[in-house]
Structure 1
């Protein structure tokens, strides 16, 4: 299992559009992927799960991936967040 902390920089946090991009990216990988914030862990392939985190601008979330492509999954998702969801 690999994990990394990233900070949400999007001006309105992890709302519908960034969450949808995150889920679309996560679903490309076979690994089990979770996101954690403020003591809550959710399936990162679920848009409702991600939205339920309530991660606002400046929130630090932890992304974890476990599986054969976990390193690639983690790299892709961290890059997505760190590039402000390419918006």
Structure 2
């Protein structure tokens, strides 16, 4: 999935179909005279971006996230089935 660009005139005429494009592109930049003026963003992608911003803007959440990444890199992970067996 990537990002696309569309001229504002084309965006107006294709507005009803932009949602189809967003299935394949996260962001569609709308331009006027070859300059970006706004963007149409897939709502699920936007939610993911906002959640990520929330996580990294909270120092404790960010620290825990980075520790988790390091655990994954170091192979310190457990299969959920193994954990389930240990708990039962």
TM range (shorter): under 0.3
Report the TM-score when normalising by structure 2.
0.26
Larger RCO (CA under 8 A, 6+ residues apart): 1
Report the TM-score when normalising by structure 1.
0.26
Q: Which has the higher helix share?
A: 2
